[in-house]
Each structure stands twice: as C-alpha cells, then as structure tokens.
Amino acid sequence: MHDLHHPGSKLKLGLTASSEGGIFRVWSESASEISLHILDSQDSTITTDVISLERADGGIFWCEDERLKLGISYVIRADGPEGPRHAFQPERNLLDPYAKGLVRESPRDYHCVAIDTDFDWEGVTKPGTGLSESVIYEAHVRGLTRVNPLIPEPIRGSYAALGHPATIEYLTNLGITAVELLPIQALISEPRLINLGLINYWGYNTINFFTPHMRYAAESTRAQGPAAILRELKTAIRELHRAGIEVIMDVVYNHTAEGGHKGLTYSYRGLDNSNYYRQDDFGNYQDTTGCGNSLNFGNPMVQQLALDSLRYWSEELQIDGYRFDLATTLARDEHNHFNPQHALLSAMQSDPIISQTKLIVEPWDVGMGGWQTGNFPPIFPEWNDRFRDSVRRFWLSDIAQARNNGQHHNGVQELAGRISGSQDIMADSSPLASINFVTAHDGFTLWDLVSYNVKHNSANGEGNRDGANNNSSFNHGFEGETPNPSINFARRKAARNLMGTLLLSAGVPMITAGDERLKTQGGNNNAYCQDNVITWQNWDPNSHQSDFETTVAHLISLRKQYPALRPRSFALIEEPTPEHDQMLWFSVRGDEMTVDDWHNPERRTLQRLSYHLMNDGSKQGLLLVINGQEQVKNVTLPKREGIGSLELLWDSALELPPKRTILLNPGSKLRMVEASMQLFLVR
C-alpha cells in the first residue's frame, strides 16, 4: 500500500498517511508499550481513538490502520521500565520525532498533525552556486524584515516577508548568493527566559527536527494550520531560488529543548531517555553543548534521525545547505570522543542527496577535546574562528595596544596566513574549507566591535555575566556612541578594514546581517534573548550607514568580478596554472619579504600580489596593500615584469568607492593613510 523504504535509510519512520489510511513507525529501544492517540478535530484534549503499536525488530514500534489519514491530529504515549536512565511517563502526550506538522496548544502542550506536503515549485530549481562563488549572509528570519517599511505590516518578520520582492531585491543589490538562516526548525524558549519576560530569540532550542517554527509564519497563515505554514516557507525558498539566492539552514542536532535531567518532556525523553541522550549509568547527562543534554550520536538510530531530517529538508523544502551548530558533538563516538571518520559524517558524505548540499560545521563544542577547527573531513567547510580572531587582533586590539604602550603584539605573518586561505589550519583541503567571518550572530556586531571595549549585556537579565569577555574589540578612545567626528571616522575606517579583509581574502566569506549598515546592539554581545530593536535589521540608515552599504556592495562585486580574489586551491609562488593561482608577498620597500619582515611585530605593512590564469590564457593580477599602523606610510609598489600600471579599485580610507580612474606606475611611491588598505588591478 505504501512506500515503506526511503533511499539511503532504513525503515521509514513517522507517519505515512493518505486519504485511505497509513502506516506509523517510531523507534524506542527501551519502551515496553507505545500507543498512538488520535485527537478530536475540534478539541485536542479529547482522544477519539487509541491504536496500540506492535513491536518489531530493532526497537521499531508500528501499526498500519485506515484511521491514519491526512489531516488527523495525534500524539503518542510510551511506557517502559523504571531506573536512573529512564524517564517514562505513560500518561504524558509525546510528539512524534518525525512529525511534519505541529500545533501549539500552550507553552507545554503541542500535538502532531498529518499534513499534505504537496507544493508547486513552478519549475524553479536550486541555484547550485559553487562554494568559491558564494557570499553568505547570516540572518534571522524575523529580525531581517520585522520593521521593513517596504513590506506589508501583517507579514513583516515572517517567512512570507523573507520571500517578499523587497527582501529579495535588497539581497540581490548587495550581491548576496546565500542566506544562512538562524534556526527555523520548531523551537521553544526556556522556562527561565519566559520567567524573565524574555524569549529564546536565536532559536537554538529545537523540539522537532522536521517541522518549521510556526511563529515565523504570518499570523493569517498560522490560523490556517501547519500545512499552510509549510507552504509559506516553501514559497519563500522558491522565490529566493528564482532570484538565484540559496537558502542555508542553521541546524541544532547536538541537543534538544528538553534540557537537563529535570527539564521538560516533549518527545525524546519520554520515548527513550536512555538511548536518545548521553548519560552515565546513574542517569547523569554528559553535556558537551552547555544546554543540559547532548544527543547520543554513538547510537545509529540517533544518527538516522539527523540523516532523515536532512534528507527531508533537502528534498521536500529544497534547502541548499546546512550550518551545523556545535558540530563536534555530532561526531562524538560511543566513548564521547571526537572522530572525524564518525559514521554520521561518513553517511552524510556518501548520501546521494545530503552530499549535494553545503555542509558547513561549527567545529567545536564545550566538551573535552571540543575545539576541532581544521579537523573535519574536506566536504565540511568550517567556521574559521582563527580567521575571526586574527583579523580582529590585527585591525583592533593590536592598534589599541600600540596607542597605549607604543608596541604592536602581532606583525603581518598570521594575517597573511588568514587572507591566503588558512593553509596552516585547512592543510588537507583548500581555501574553500574556511568559512571566513569577522562577526556572527553571537558576539559584537561590526559597529560595536569598533565602538566598545567591553560588553554591555544588562538587558539580558544576568547582571552582565553572560557573553564573551574577550572580544578583541577597540572603542577608538570612547566607550559607545559619541558625536566626536574624528573617533567616528576612525571607527568607520576600521569597519571598512575588517569588511575589506573579509571580502578580499581567500576562503568563503560570511557577513552578519546588519553589518553592511553598521548596525549597533548597544554593546550587547549576547543578544540571544532580545526580540526587539536591539536585534532587528535597521531599515532607516543614516548617510554614513548607506555609504558603508555601498562599500560592501562594491567589495562583493569586486570579489565576483575577479577570480584572483577567490582561489579554489592554495596558491603557489610559481606561475599560475589552471589548478593553482600565484601569490607573491612584498614589503613596504616593494621587494620580497625578508625573515625580519615576517617576524617583526612592528613591520605592519604587507603587499599581496595575486595572479589567476584566465580561460583565454591571460593572467589576471590584483595587488592588495595593507598598512596596519596608525601612521602614514609611503609604500613602494612592486616592480615586476608584466605590471604596466596599477589601477585603484578600492581604498578603505575613502567613505565611498573611488569614482574616477587612478593609475599608478610600478615602483612608484604610494602614500597610505594610517591603518588602511588599498586594492589595485594590474594593467
């Protein structure tokens, strides 16, 4: 009657329903009894039918029944043994881990709905943008559009607003190729936050890995139920794809919203606490996420849950890629040790559907041996925290230190490693293994990074104890907003240096939404619980913010125009070939870097000359010149065969991209403003 199997997986779990009836399967190694309860269509507190499930091999409980039709509301209940590792509550309604539709009755009560997932994609397919061509934009579905005046008020902050022409036009004009959405799988807020009158805004607190978060649908859509919510999200994805923009989801498979030992029970804990979660024999959770629990990816069925979820979003919702939160937890074996050959990672690489998506990892967690940057297999590009830290130090904390005591801590050596693709970290891969970022949702915004020395998180209700203390930020002489024009100019220039370094480096750049308009969070570096103007995108930029947005769009267009800015493999010093670009380094004197130039922390000037071999056999050359000191530098431009002249493409000392053509001769002196960078095209 039904397709019982799914390619690449074992038995199909969850509810497969039609108008004639259906099959339901759920896994629990520990349960002794599981029943499915069909709820009254008008009053979900009333059970109309109870179906006892049969136990089959491998801990699969199942039934085939004509009452399992599309449109039904249902929950499951489970009973089983007592003991420190178990948490069975036979009267507790539980969610099907594979439910495709959810309805929220109250903060504690949800039920599942069997929905029709049919949708007309109108022939629109995934853009299929290569990693080397990608410019990722990390955004929050709600915050991105919540106050955009070009979007109708009733749908602002929703999936519909994400797919609205005003949003798409904005992203297109900026040059974004992929939006990376903070979690949109069904989530809840922790009771502690609700008691403070706050919510979990970022959403790293999932209760179900197959359903879209209902709060992000427009109010009129929510009133129509889960099938309409799914359609609204699919419509947004379709329209973004139509414009050539990919959709990457931030996914949180490392833990669930059920929290620690005394946390809430929604689904997994009540079904099989002993096997879904990592525990010792006394029932103590082994938490490598800092969120109270960690899913046990040493268990093949927990691995299958994640794989089936990824396959569903990739096929049913046409998602282009994923960013795995605290991904080290996903690759911990049965002994809780990180294993780069972990079965889950291997299955993703070999799966014909999942392997075709972008699989970006946050390569750390909070457990022992949790920091694993550079250690994931090549198919998994990694958030490069070393890039973030090196670039911040070079442009901010080093300059602050030099102001205070006359000496810099770092020279140019580490920065050169980062802007050339972090080969010291990603040695077994390519620059495309490095997702470069200077800011992310977590931490200071770009503007706050150049405006605050310390965090200001009192609005979070934790006495400013939350959030990172070490930010490598620099307020340029005054804490917070100031009318002082010279401080504000220095801040904007520093922001241009940071953004310029990000977009002109080898690797895959990720911009945090709002940074292109110098958005502030008032110094809050942990705005996870702020669903308000602190986190919402600014749609009323002042002239300086608009100028900065123009600069970001210009830098992105340069990146797209010149392949020498986005090498696909690590560059060599030899002549460029179809496989390798050439990268050469020069000092302030215009000659090749000496050992002292590389290792002296006071040698803070660097020239990077990159050549890319074009399809027609010609060479494309770009020269990036960096002055990392707060003093004017006269830099001798390199003199090499093949350099006729150098055309200025961008100067971070300017508020706007250059409007007229400026040509310089090789070997001539370039006067560089203090702490600035310039990019030239080799003519």
Q: What dihedral do alpha carbons 418, 423, 428, 430 form, nearest 10°?
A: 70
Angle, CA 94 vertex, CA 93 and CA 95 arms, to 5° = 135
Question: d(Cα 476, Cα 57) in Å, to the nearest integer?
Answer: 65
Residue 1 has pLDDT above 60, yes or no: no
Residue 108 has pLDDT above 90, yes or no: no
The pLDDT of residue 185 is: 98
Residue 128 has pLDDT above 50, yes or no: yes
Q: pLDDT tens digits, residue range 356-371?
A: 999 999 999 999 999 9
Q: Is 336 left (phi over 0), alpha (psi -120 to 50) or beta?
A: left
Note the Cα 682 to chain centre separation in Å: 35
The pLDDT of residue 19 is: 86
Residue holding tokens 């936050």?
Answer: 193
Q: pLDDT tens digits, residue range 507-520?
A: 999 999 999 999 99
Average pLDDT of the chain?
A: 96
**What six digits make up the tokens of 562?**
């010149």
My answer on whether 610 and 534 are in the same domain is no
- 510, part of any domain: yes
Give Cα separations from 72 to 40, 48, 112 (angstroms).
Answer: 8, 11, 8
Residue holding tokens 């937890």?
Answer: 329
pLDDT above 70: percentage of residues in the chain: 99
Q: pLDDT tens digits, residue range 582-633?
A: 999 999 999 999 999 999 999 999 999 999 999 999 999 999 999 999 999 9
CB 233 within 8 A of CB 212: yes
Domain that holds residue 67: 14-113
How would residue 261 be classed by pLDDT, with cut points 50, 70 and 90?
confident
Q: Is 362 a catalytic residue?
A: yes
CATH code for the domain in which residue 95 is found: 2.60.40.10
The pLDDT of residue 406 is: 95
Domain tally for the chain?
A: 3
Closest CA to 565 of 94, 78, 132: 132
User: Among the listed ranges 7-11, 116-120, 187-191, 535-539, which one has the minimum average pLDDT value?
Assistant: 7-11
Closest CA to 533 of 546, 520, 523: 520
Residue 446 has pLDDT above 70, yes or no: yes
- 474, part of any domain: yes
In angstroms, how far is the first alpha carbon of the chain from the final one? 68
My answer on whether 267 and 242 are in the same domain is yes
My answer on whether 265 and 202 are in the same domain is yes
- 244, part of any domain: yes
My answer on whether 557 and 580 are in the same domain is no
User: Among the listed ranges 259-268, 474-483, 556-565, which one has the minimum average pLDDT value?
Assistant: 259-268
- Average pLDDT on 238-243 reads 98
pTM for this model (two decimals): 0.97
My answer on whether 589 and 645 are in the same domain is yes
Question: d(Cα 39, Cα 50) in Å, to the nearest integer?
Answer: 9
β-strand 102-104 against 136-139: which pairing, if any? unpaired
- Average pLDDT on 85-98 reads 97
My answer on whether 288 and 433 are in the same domain is yes
Instruction: Show which of 86, 113, 140 is a domain's final residue.
Output: 113
Question: d(Cα 494, Cα 675) in Å, to the nearest integer?
Answer: 8
My answer on whether 623 and 547 are in the same domain is no
Q: Is 43 a catalytic residue?
A: no
The pLDDT of residue 590 is: 98
- 154, part of any domain: yes
Residue 246 has pLDDT above 60, yes or no: yes
CB 398 within 8 A of CB 360: no
Count, residues in the chain: 683
My answer on whether 18 and 106 are in the same domain is yes
CATH code for the domain in which residue 451 is found: 3.20.20.80
My answer on whether 484 and 583 are in the same domain is no
542 CB-near residues (< 8 Å, 6+ apart):
none
The pLDDT of residue 10 is: 65
Residue 4 has pLDDT above 60, yes or no: no
How would residue 107 be classed by pLDDT, with cut points 50, 70 and 90?
confident
β-strand 434-436 against 382-383: which pairing, if any? parallel
The pLDDT of residue 6 is: 36
Question: d(Cα 293, Cα 295) in Å, to the nearest integer?
Answer: 7
**What six digits make up the tokens of 331?**
């690759």
Please count the other Cβ atoms lying within 10 Å of the Cβ belonging to residue 355: 13
The one catalytic residue in 232, 325, 581, 651 is 325
The pLDDT of residue 11 is: 85
Residue 397 has pLDDT above 70, yes or no: yes
Residue 428 has pLDDT above 80, yes or no: yes
Q: pLDDT tens digits, residue range 307-349?
A: 999 999 999 999 999 999 999 999 999 999 999 999 999 999 9
Helix (H/G/I), strand (E/B), else coil: 200: coil
- Average pLDDT on 543-565 reads 98
Q: pLDDT tens digits, residue range 632-665?
A: 999 999 999 999 999 999 999 999 999 999 999 9
CB 359 within 8 A of CB 307: no
Closest CA to 397 of 436, 635, 388, 440: 388
Instruction: Show which of 113, 142, 164 is a domain's final residue.
Output: 113
Q: pLDDT tens digits, residue range 473-488?
A: 999 999 999 999 999 9
My answer on whether 288 and 338 are in the same domain is yes
My answer on whether 342 and 484 are in the same domain is yes
- 602, part of any domain: yes
Per-residue exposure over 26-53, b if at least 16 CB sit within 10 Å of its own CB, e if not: bbbebbeebbbbbbeeeebeeeeeebeb
My answer on whether 220 and 265 are in the same domain is yes
Residue 2 has pLDDT above 90, yes or no: no
Per-residue exposure over 69-104, b if at least 16 CB sit within 10 Å of its own CB, e if not: ebebbbbbbbebeeeebbbbeeebbbbbbbbbbbbe
**What six digits make up the tokens of 53?**
């499930």
Burial class (CB in 10 A: 0-12, 13-18, 19+), 346: middle
Residue 670 has pLDDT above 60, yes or no: yes
CATH code for the domain in which residue 585 is found: 2.60.40.1180
The one catalytic residue in 250, 362, 398, 581 is 362
Closest CA to 182 of 141, 242, 214: 141
- Average pLDDT on 45-71 reads 97
- Average pLDDT on 159-187 reads 98
Helix axes 385-392, 485-503, angle to 10 degrees: 150
